[in-house]
Amino acid sequence: MDLKNKVAIITGGRRGMGRTHALTLAKAGAKVVISDISLEDCQKVVQEVKKQGGEAMAVECDVTKKEQVDIMVKKTIEVFGKIDILVNNAGILQFKPFLELTEQDWDKTLSVNLKGYFLCAQACAKEMVKQKSGVIVNITSIAMGGMGVGFPNIVHYSASKGGIVAMTEALALELASFNIRVNAIAPGAIDTPMMASSEQDPKTMEGTLARIPMHRIGKPEEVSNAVLFLASDRSSYITGSTIIVDGGWLAT
């Protein structure tokens, strides 16, 4: 799956799955833009990319702020000349019972996880339309709803992830005529800092593993391989789809 001469933006790229997405796409030949709220952390990933022989740059960006998203896109065009791939990965997760959720909790989660995806997709798509080609990969979650499996204490997170799926399908229809494909990936339990913070005790982990037919937590690279597939020409006839990477959780 060759991405030589392709340019990819990865939001939330400073750690976890975002970092692995950047390294994986870079190994396939893409020039990668690592974007997140910490420029210092992004630069560390840039150095990792360069050590493996790739090209990368870091851009500090809060995806909830349109002006910062526009600057991210502008810098990418100035340095690399185009945008072929957007991986909408930036996100936050907060565990809190529904009856205790505040308006601020709701607004913050929806702002990062859904509004941020909209702002980045729109800004990048405007550039992709000019070249009549592009790929947008939105990272959602198995907590996206509509699958017959609910997840308590993350109502706001689930709402945002369900919104991403709906947005993905709608964007796929609107952008298909410009040869822009839009797909989503729904990871299950993956070994990331976000996952680690949610595991409060061994019993919680035991309960999680009991729900997964493969009886293990997924690796970030296993999600990144799906990102690579959707970003490459190997998936040239796939758009508006959501690929589930969960070790069989939703199949139980």
Contact between 124 and 134 (Cβ < 8 Å): yes
Strand-pair partners of 57: 33
What gap in Å lies between CA 193 and CA 105, rounded to an integer?
A: 20
What gap in Å lies between CA 14 and CA 188, rounded to an integer?
A: 20
Contact between 189 and 249 (Cβ < 8 Å): yes
SS (H, E, C) 152-193: CCCHHHHHHHHHHHHHHHHHHHHHHHHCEEEEEEEECCECCH
Q: Of residues 80, 117, 157, 249, which has the active-site annotation? A: 157
Contact between 12 and 18 (Cβ < 8 Å): yes
What gap in Å lies between CA 74 and CA 165, rounded to an integer?
A: 27
CA–centroid distance for 35 within its chain: 12
Pairing, β 180-187 against β 56-60: unpaired
157 among known catalytic residues: yes
In this structure, what token pair is assigned to residue 71? 């600057």
Rg (CA), the chain: 17
Residues with catalytic annotation?
A: 157
